[in-house]
Structure 1
Amino acid sequence: MSGAGELRRLRDVVAGDMAGADVAHDLGHLDRVAGLSARLAVREGLDGFVAAVAAYVHDHHRAAEARLGRVVAPAEVRDDARDALRRGGVAEQLWDPVLDAVEATGRYSFSAAVSAPTADRIAACLHDADMLDAMGATGIARAFAYGGAIGEPLWDPDAGVATGGYRSGPTGSVVAHFHEKLLRLRGELRTAAGREMGERRHAALEEFLRRFREEWVDAHGDSDGAPPGV
């Protein structure tokens, strides 16, 4: 594993690149995913440094989305992420493996644009770390922070929960996003350690949704218009 100083240098570079990203994909998110990626990689017998490097450049497309006002795929900003690796002093032989791992994130079996998961093990660790940060108490906090930033309601009975394959971007409400995506993430985890962590975090999502539904019924007097149960 390479030194912590190299990772700090890359982090400093990425902090500037991501300054315009939304609140749910900020530097704090990258720090958490980097830590989780490294831990999962070590548990899998892999290089935690490489996994952490991939984590720090995995969301450059989010900064592009903030600039362009549309959904952007990681492959569209591969050159931006590559330049961050260069400026961060990451060894050139790691660039393509890291960027390939980044482009394998955000692929779900329940997506409208289904893509087969990669067999690359570093990519699996990055994927799981990114999914885990969207689950549990942290995932709940991020979901509502993002929803507030883009003006989504907590729950909209008229919009309900969308059916069909998941599509990235705004949804009808924050609680709808739980049902459309977050509750499905447990089934997407690819590493043994990720699945172990995912069980606890999934339980936290379910407990929150049960309480939210109960409180909705308390406020409205009946279950008409309440979000779905879990």
Structure 2
Amino acid sequence: MTYSEKSREKRSSSFSRYSFDGDSPLPPFVAMTSSSAIDGGDWAAKFGPVMTTDDIVIQNTVEYVRGMLASNDASHDWNHIERVWRLSVRIATEEHVERMDCVVLAALLHDIDDWKYTGSDSTDRARAFLHTQPLDVDKIEFVLKIINGIGFKEELGAKKISMFPELACVQDADRLDAIGAIGIARCLTYGGHKKRVLYEPSVPPLMAMDKAAYMANKHGPTLNHFYEVQ
């Protein structure tokens, strides 16, 4: 066995707590969130009587995010987070990304500080929460680095995002949830939530926007978004 094959085998073995379990469509951590309540007994039944620090942090993060997004409209609710989580884990597993724990945390927390809801372009909530968990500073900063690179406005904010595998996994998962039937439904739901007009022929789409213009465009017709993200 070559060094690269041994390295890949070693990385693959570390994914077992995060990746897909047999024929199940859900990774273990996600499968736990399908019930209406997550308590210590449920998690212990899934992972055994002794939970690792990573298990505890993920459990705490799931509970925090579900609570924080409980009042969000369906375009950016817990179901969206869960889909991004699932997709991120699937992509990261296929790509043999090493820092899977950071992928999971970033996927779970990526909309906690969404400027469209908070009015602030920061990661203050995610940072504050992560500092309440048994995580080292380097890991916290890495998770925040991933979160800071996700989102359409971030693509507009720089000519070239400094891509690294963990960011790419979560960013692509978030993009995948913004296309197809789910993506269309989310766009229409968000437009309705913000009381935007669906279509206004006298207001053309704003093409070639930069980050500032995109963030300032708060009242454009909903259907314009499909042209503006090309």
Structure 1 length normalisation: TM-score? 0.66
Which 4+ stretches in 1 moved above 6 angstroms?
none
Match for 1:59: what amino acid?
Answer: D
The alignment partner of 1:154 has SS state of coil
Answer whether contact 2:73 2:189 (CA < 8 A) is retained: no
Alpha-carbon separation, structure 2, partners of 1:148 and 1:31: 22
- What does residue 51 of structure 2 align with? none
State the Cα distance separating 1:23 from its structure 2 match.
3.4
Residues 82, 141 of structure 1: CA spacing in aligned structure 2 closer, same or farther, 3 A cutoff?
Answer: same
- Alignment of 1:174 onto 2:222: yes
Moved more, 119-128 or 17-26: 17-26
- Alignment of 1:58 onto 2:110: yes
Residues 25, 115 of structure 1: CA spacing in aligned structure 2 closer, same or farther, 3 A cutoff?
Answer: farther
- Alignment of 1:25 onto 2:87: no
State the Cα distance separating 1:107 from its structure 2 match.
5.2
Partner residue of 2:87 out of 36, 55, 58 = 36
Structure 2 length normalisation: TM-score? 0.66
State the Cα distance separating 1:114 from its structure 2 match.
2.8
State the Cα distance separating 1:42 from its structure 2 match.
0.7
- Alignment of 1:103 onto 2:148: yes
- What does residue 159 of structure 1 align with? 203
Q: How does 1:38-187 map to 2 (within 5 A)?
A: 38-46=89-97, 47-62=99-114, 65-67=116-118, 70=119, 72-73=120-121, 76-77=122-123, 79-87=124-132, 89=133, 91-92=135-136, 93-106=138-151, 111=156, 113-165=157-209, 167-168=214-215, 169-181=217-229, 184=230
Alpha-carbon separation, structure 2, partners of 1:130 and 1:66: 17
Residues 104, 148 of structure 1: CA spacing in aligned structure 2 closer, same or farther, 3 A cutoff?
Answer: same
Match for 2:106: what amino acid?
Answer: A
Over residues 117-168 of structure 1, what are the superposed CA-to-partner deviations in whole Å (9 max), with x where a residue is unaligned? 1232101111111111111111001000001111122211011212331513
Alpha-carbon separation, structure 2, partners of 1:34 and 1:176: 28
Match for 1:53: what amino acid?
Answer: L
- Structure 2: gaps (5+ residues): 1-14, 19-28, 30-42, 44-54
- What does residue 32 of structure 2 align with? none
Alpha-carbon separation, structure 2, partners of 1:109 and 1:15: 25
Number of residue pairs the alignment of both structures matches: 173
Alpha-carbon separation, structure 1, partners of 2:127 and 2:173: 21
Answer whether contact 2:207 2:227 (CA < 8 A) is retained: no
- What does residue 211 of structure 1 align with? none
The alignment partner of 1:61 has SS state of coil
- Structure 1: gaps (5+ residues): 185-230
Match for 1:82: what amino acid?
Answer: R
